[in-house]
Chains A and B, each alone.
Chain A
Amino acid sequence: MAIGKWALLAAPLLALAAIPAQAQAQEGVIRIGVTLRMVVENGLKYGQMVKDEFDAVNAAGGINGRKIEVQLLDDECKPDKGVSNVNRFIHQTQVDLIIGSTCSSVSMPMVDIVTKEAIPMIIPQSTNQDLTKKGSPWVFRVPVSERFYAAVHAKWLAENVGKKVAYLVTTDTAGIGFAKQYQVYMKKAYNVDPVIEVQAQETDLDFRAALLKIKSMNPDVLAIGGQADAIARVSQQSFEVGIPSRVRRVAASAASNAPVPELGGDAVKGLIYAAAFNCNDERPEAQAFVKMTQTRYNVRCPDHDFSQAYDTVQIVKQALKAASLKLNAGSHAADRLAIRDALAGIKDFRGLASGPINFCAEPTPQCRDGNRTGILVEYTKGGKDYETRVLARVSFEADFGL
């Protein structure tokens, strides 16, 4: 009986050992590990898109004659899963490059691992500013870092609308962060303090008293920090208390969520928020991309998670083309280094991002936050069939606001 138990215990371990090891021997292949948040439906689609893009490269003969092998894994926006996936990429698959991830909290520990293991990693979607601040020579980032986001609307509003900003902020992380970054930028760039700041609870339904107070201060801009519901309600009630439409309403990034125009109705017309991509972008390359995702993946309006994943793939293709790779059993370290340096050599890449993407060799945010152009999106129509347009593109210098 005791032996039986030990056997039961040992069986799964033996099973683990019996699983044939991944075919490592195949030389001349570029291996890429991709980990993304794919639990949501869109996630599965942009994950598939990344894989399809590389498959298309293989179908066309590969890059410099080399085929690309992609291992695509879901990290479910769970850091533990991301760590597990990266460990698998590095130790089991022995990839040459890692693409990942969507959530900043997942990319965070990944950065530490790739730095230690000396493997290049390019971040397609995470925006947290600390990722590139860690100073890893192995990490590149395609999306707009969040440190630019607040500045995008702050700069545009200051130059085009006015500097008298009234804040109505709910006390959640998103709301507070939005207001704080806006205020810091206004102070730094123009030495302007808020005309008024009112805090409300996340669960509040009636903001009219606060809005009346704001109205009496006669601001140029009403900044709304909070989640989608609060943004919709504040927009509506701001008109009810008679804040005129010449006062620009600007909101945190949650404003891009569908409940805002659906709940807010006509009141959201003119509301703006900063983003990295909008599917109503009129540039031909953007429209071609939107059409591609519509036909291939049945996505009506691809968001910046799609556009940035797409840009990432194109940048990787370009870098792999430029890198001289040996791809034999002993060349792992050299190949990884070559890919890293090729990525650092990406200059003036023009993709779906609204501005050029540049990388350089220094392990600093200036060098590794590739995209510094955000867009301002404006609601032109509220309700269920809401419409948006790109109001402006705002670019920054690499060393802004550090």
Chain B
Amino acid sequence: MAVVTAPTDADWRSRIHPVLPWLGGIAVLSLLPLVTRTAYDQYLLNIIAINVLLAVGLNIVKGFAGQVTVGHVAVMAIGAYASAVFSVHLGLPFWLALPAAMAVCAAVGLLVGIPALRLEGAYLALATLGLAESVRIVISGTDWLGAAMGFEGIPPPQIGGFVMETHLRYFFVVMPIAVMGIYISFAILRSDMGRAFKAIREDQLAAAASGVHVAKFKLIAFVLSALYAGCAGSLKAHMAPGYLNPNDYSLQEMVTLLLMVIFGGIGHIWGAVIGAIAVTIINDLTQDYYTYRMAIFGGVIVLTVMYMPRGIGGMVEDWLVRRRFAALRAATKARQATP
């Protein structure tokens, strides 16, 4: 019989508040601008931070709750435009526009989630695709949102007297938010709720039979991921030059976003983070080779799906599982072989 070792209070991990290591992470990452070569690298870091938020959010609904959605980019667009409207038309400062935009997105997430109660797989993808495209088209045709010419003049955030308009300063807005986003994702997904999401992904019938309120948790997953998309959208809106255009929220962006999550490994929080970083950097490095860029990008997608269907996270997990359980499994086999 195995010896059951329950974690004890003596374990240092259980004595510190779980957010502390993450604050440490923020402190370490704050040094990152020291190693950047130019302001362009800082700009790229900011884009990475926004993409990390997006991917981590998508990972909640897609990776954990297992719900197909291609509407995530549209929710981001709604967050971005909501934040822009709140700050430009209503004069709210960034620090109020951001939560307000997230609240709008939460409501949208609820709406997107409702079809998910009845639809699955490809049908749900189609429903969310319809939403995504209609958001883009509606924005393109709405004059007070700048229509096809875009929404201009969204002010940068201010902290005290500091206007966060340079890439360097904006880094200190987006990076801590992104890190906290990852932390919250961890806190939620490693809790009872995260297990409920995964159970829904694995088997809805069995999840319900285990007492999981499937409909409720599906909606919560959509709302949570919409909150992330809204936060990312708002951060995008207020980043220099403070300009939004519906063209930047099309299916192409959605595919890129899906690639981040798939490349990183569906259902792995670190996977989504690594995927967002890797895909953003690949995207940037291939920019000079515009003739082949699409081919390179398509190649990465195909190779990932063919040889790494569970992404980097899946590969790491497989490796860990193999290493950890090889001996155990061999022992079991040996026991079965000798009656």
Contacts and interface: CB of A to CB of B under 8 A. Distances in A.
Chains A and B belong together in one complex: yes
Interface of A: 1, 4-5, 8-9, 12-13, 15-17, 19, 21, 38-39, 44, 47, 71-74, 77-80, 83-85, 87-88, 90-92, 103-105, 108-109, 112-113, 116, 128, 130, 173
Contact of B243 (A44, A78, A109): A109
A13 B32 contact: yes
Given A80-B245, A130-B149, 18 more contacts: A4-B316, A16-B44, A19-B285, A39-B294, A73-B290, A77-B247, A78-B252, A79-B243, A79-B245, A84-B287, A87-B39, A91-B167, A105-B149, A105-B150, A109-B152, A113-B240, A116-B241, A173-B140
Contacts of A128: 149
Contact of B40 (A12, A78, A88, A105): A88
Given A8-B316, A77-B247, A112-B241, A173 B40 contact: no
Contacts of B32: 13
Minimum-distance CB pairs A-B, first 5? A74-B290, A109-B243, A91-B40, A112-B241, A91-B39
Given A1-B320, A8-B316, A173-B148, A112 B39 contact: no
Contacts of B240: 113, 116
A5 B270 contact: yes
Interface string B23-67: 000000000100111111101100100000000000000000000
A2 to B, nearest CB: 9
A92 B287 contact: no
B141 interface: yes
B247 A79 contact: yes
A13 B40 contact: no
B290 A80 contact: no
- Main secondary structure on B side of the interface with A: helix
Interface in B114-170: 140-141, 147-150, 152, 167
B291 A44 contact: yes
Contacts of A13: 32, 277
Given A13-B32, A109-B243, A79 B248 contact: yes
B195 interface: no
B273 interface: yes
Contacts of A5: 270
Nearest to B35: A17
A12 B149 contact: no
A113 B40 CA distance: 13
Interface residues of B, number: 44
A21 B35 contact: no
A79 B43 contact: no
Contacts of A4: 316
B192 interface: no
B178 interface: no
B78 interface: no
A178 to B, nearest CB: 15
B288 interface: yes
A26 B247 CA distance: 37
Interface of B: 32, 35-41, 43-44, 47, 140-141, 147-150, 152, 167, 240-243, 245, 247-248, 252, 270, 273-274, 277-278, 281, 284-285, 287-288, 290-291, 293-294, 312, 316, 320
B274 A9 contact: yes
Given A15-B281, A113-B240, A87 B248 contact: no
Contacts of B252: 78
Contacts of A12: 274, 277-278, 281
Contacts of B40: 87-88, 90-92
B273 A9 contact: yes
Given A17-B35, A38-B290, A91-B38, A108 B150 contact: yes
A17 B141 CA distance: 42
B241 A83 contact: yes
B241 A113 contact: yes
Contacts of A39: 294
A159 B19 CA distance: 75
Given A73-B290, A79-B248, A84-B47, A9 B243 contact: no
A130 B151 CA distance: 13
A8 B316 CA distance: 10
B41 A16 contact: yes
Contacts of B243: 79, 83, 108-109, 112
A73 B278 contact: no
B164 to A, nearest CB: 14
A173 B248 contact: no
Contacts of A73: 287-288, 290
A109 B243 CA distance: 6
A90 B38 CA distance: 10
Given A16-B41, A78-B247, A173-B141, A8 B152 contact: no
A12 B312 CA distance: 13
A8 B270 contact: yes
Nearest to B276: A12
A104 to B, nearest CB: 7
B281 A92 contact: no
Contacts of A79: 150, 243, 245, 247-248
B38 to A, nearest CB: 5
A73 B291 CA distance: 9
6 contacts: A15-B281, A73-B288, A79-B247, A79-B248, A83-B243, A109-B245
Nearest to B269: A5
Contacts of A90: 39-40
Contact of A88 (B35, B242, B274, B287): B287
Nearest to B243: A109
Contacts of A38: 290
Contacts of B35: 17
A104 B150 CA distance: 10
Nearest to B182: A9
A93 to B, nearest CB: 9
Contacts of A19: 285
Nearest to B38: A91
Nearest to A172: B141
Contact of B149 (A21, A72, A108, A116): A108
With a 10 A CB-CB cut-off, give which of A1, A104, A105 has the most chain B CB atoms: A105
Contacts of A74: 287, 290, 293
A381 B12 CA distance: 85
A85 B40 CA distance: 10
Q: Residue among B40, B147, B293 with the most chain A CB within 10 A?
A: B40
A79 B278 CA distance: 22
B187 to A, nearest CB: 16
B146 to A, nearest CB: 9
Contacts of A80: 245, 248
